[in-house]
Each structure stands twice: as structure tokens, then as C-alpha cells.
Amino acid sequence: MASTSLPQRGAEVARRRAPRILVVDDEADIRELLELTLVRMGLTVDLAGGVEEAKALIAEQTYDLCLTDMRMADGNGLDLVRHVAQMCRDLPIAVITAHGTTDNAVAALKAGAFDYLSKPVGLEQLRTLVKSAIEVPTASASAESGRGLIGGSNAIVETRELIGRVARSLAPVHICGESGTGKELAARLLHEQSLRSGAFVAVNCGAIPENLMESEFFGYRKGAFTGASEDRDGFFQAASNGTLFLDEVAELPLAMQVKLLRAIQEKQVRRVGATTEERIDVRIVSATHQNLTALTVAGRFRQDLLYRLNVIEIRTPSLRECREDIAGIARAFVNRAAANASQAFRLADTAIAALEKYDFPGNVRELENILERAIALARGDQIVAEDLRLIPTPAEDAPRIAGEGDAGGLPLPDYLDRIEREAIQGALREAGGNRTAAARLLGVTFRSLRYRLQRLGID
């Protein structure tokens, strides 16, 4: 059945930022499969386990596309289609129907859906549907959106120069730095300046269930296991002639580290269910905020894999090392947010001064979250210091209560993770386990909270 005409909104917004997709399904395995496929396409993905959760997310977030199952525990996908048609008519929504249920597909199209997919979902069909609804970002999208490594400080300039020098090498690169310093942006810049013609494939190693890792990295053959209805490429095949970026590589379990080491050494992978290996041509770029050397001493990371990954090391500087860049980065974020919202915003001098005094333990990612919140709180088109709601940074010589702020001998990233974990767990307790409400209490987006939950291993 042919798709109906699509809204113009999708392509226009996608040119300004990475498109955001909402996937609605009450089956966790289906959600994870769809999320992994869409993330590989360079898209930002939020997940909802039912109709009511999806409605709550749509009320607080702007999406470029919604994919919803038809039958869920708390309602019907048609209810969500009708809700979208009434509340946000410019949001394209597609439904996933059970095989052979043509009546449901027709009903969904009449209710306002622009297209449908039948189960089991073919991944090529899914990619085609997504590309018909929105403009999928290209490899250079990060640079065009203003999210590159912005700044003229010595630390940033040196990092960009090092990236330029090593970009054309084939040697593996390891990017280290605190959380939120733009390690993925550095990896994308490295790929864009290289001579490799293939795709840039980013993988969050901490977000993949352990039982799916081998099939996700190496692919599988039809019939390899229940549900493997067709051959499927893994991350290595998707990044052929390109770059495979392993973010949070320290989160890989030891069993997967062994398999990854062999793939890097032999330049071959074996799909799950296959009897032969296939050659791969992939440049490996890895990143983590953790100290890999310390992890090898603790027995949590293989030393031989560390040597394979860390041939060339690039360090992304913290925002505290680039204070002279804070104003420029902040204005770039505000300008981009203004373009997305079709409304002009500007930072008052008081806001700039407050930002330049703040220490930013969460670095650029925290700066972006602060500005998103400030835009929402601003009474007009000017953002003042009060809108930022910054937590005051104590003076170095200020007296401290015994035990407070004591890192207990921990490296700074681990100490900051501990503080962040305590804050998130406190907000979840106060919100009765409701993650959307907890995100509001913390002043971050639901997506940002979900990422932190995954990174910190909070169930």
C-alpha cells in the first residue's frame, strides 16, 4: 500500500539536528532491536513500553517520527495514532501490525498514520520507511549542526590538530576524557577527515544486553536462533571501509573482549550460525571516561586488548580547561535551540558571567542540559543568570563538613559517578520509581536520564 503524503516538518528539522524517534512497544526485545537499528542510522531514539508512557513523552519532547505497535498491554496503537492526530498533527506516525492483519493497517492509515510495517519487521523495510519520513543525517551532520569541537582555547586547538594528524592513519585510536567532553564528536571528526569511504558506526558498549552482543557485533545467519528469519549484518559489516566507534568500551564483559580482540587481530569475523569467517576492513576508534590501565590491574579489562585499542591516544579536555570557550559554546547551543524552536533567544551578560565561573563536572553535556532548562524557564527571549539555576561552586578555602565532598581516594571520574548515582537514586525514590518524574526533579531530559541509568548500571 502506498504511503500518504508526509508533513514537511521531518526534513526541515532533521537538517538542524539529529532526528529524534519514539519507539512504542511493550516487548523489550522488539524495542531493543528497533533502537539498535535506528541508532546505527545516526538517529536519537527514545523508548516507551506502552500507550500512556508514549503520550507522556510526546507531551514533554519533540519527535520527528513515531513507530508504534498495534496491540499493547495498556491500549491499542490506534489510540496513540488518534492522540497524535489531535495533539501534534505534524508528527509522522507509523504502526507495526501483526502479519496478515490488513484491516488494522487500513484503520491506522484512516486514523492518521502515514504508513505501516508488518511483523516480523524486515530491517531494510524499516530503514526505507524511516528515510521516507525524515532526512537521515549524513556523516558530516555533526559538523553542519554546530556540534563539532568548538573553541579557540589551546587545549581544544591542540586536540583538533592531533585529530587532523592521525585521521589518515589506519591505526586504532583510543579517546579518553571525562564524561561529557565530546568523545564521540572527536571520533566523528576523526572519521570525517580520514580517507575512509564507509560509514561511521557508533556503538554504546554499555547499552547492549550481554546475550545479544555477539550477534550485534558480528551479525548472524538465517536460522541461527529463534527469530533469526533472515541474514543480518553486525556492526563490523555495517562499518565496512569505515569507522567503528566503541563508546564506553570499558563496559564490555570479558568474554566479549576476547572475541573483539580476535576480530581486531585477525581482521576477520564469524557471524553467529556461520561456519566460515569473512574479512573485514574497519578502523577501530574506542572511548571511555574510565582509566583502562587501572581496570587491567583490577582484572576487569584485558591488557592485550588495551594494547590493541590504545595505539594512538587522544584526550578530550574538560570544560574547566577551556573556560575562554564557554561563552562561544553556550551561544552556539542557544542559537541551535532557537532555530529548532523558531524563536530567538540570547544570553544576558549575567548568564555568561555565571557560566564562566561554574566548574561543570558534567562538562559540555551538562552545559547543554543547563541551557535547555534555562530556555524552558526563561520569561522572555533573554536568558539571565537566575534561569540557569546553577549549583554554587564552593570556594577552595571554604570550610567543609567532615566527609562531605571527600573522594575517598577515588579518581575524579569515579567520584563524580558516585555523586551522580546518589542524586539519581534519590530522585527515583522521591518520584516513586517514575523515571519521567525523576528526570523533571533532576532538571534533565528523559533521554538524558535514561542514558545515565544505562551508563551507571542503575536498574
Chunked mean pLDDT (size 10), the chain, 459 residues: 38 51 89 82 86 91 90 89 84 80 76 81 80 64 49 89 89 92 93 88 90 92 85 91 94 95 93 92 94 92 95 94 91 77 80 92 89 85 89 47 45 72 84 79 76 76
What pLDDT shows up at residue 14? 34
Note the pLDDT of residue 53: 93
For residues 312 and 273, the answer to whether their CB atoms sit within 8 Å is no
The confidence score (pLDDT) of residue 99 equals: 52
Query: Which neighbouring-strand residues pair with 176?
Result: 288, 315
pLDDT reported for residue 276: 92
- Rg, C-alpha atoms of the chain: 23
Instruction: Report all structural domains of the chain as residue ranges with CATH numbers, in order of start.
Output: 9-133 (3.40.50.2300), 141-315 (3.40.50.300), 321-388 (1.10.8.60), 412-456 (1.10.10)
Angle of helix 446-456 relative to helix 412-430, nearest 10 degrees? 120
What CA–CA distance (Å, rounded) separates 368 from 180?
10
Q: What is the pLDDT of residue 342?
A: 61
pLDDT of residue 102: 67
pLDDT of residue 34: 86
Question: With contact defined as beta carbons under 8 Å apart, do 186 and 193 qualify?
Answer: no
Give the pLDDT score at 137.
Answer: 57
pLDDT score, position 412: 63
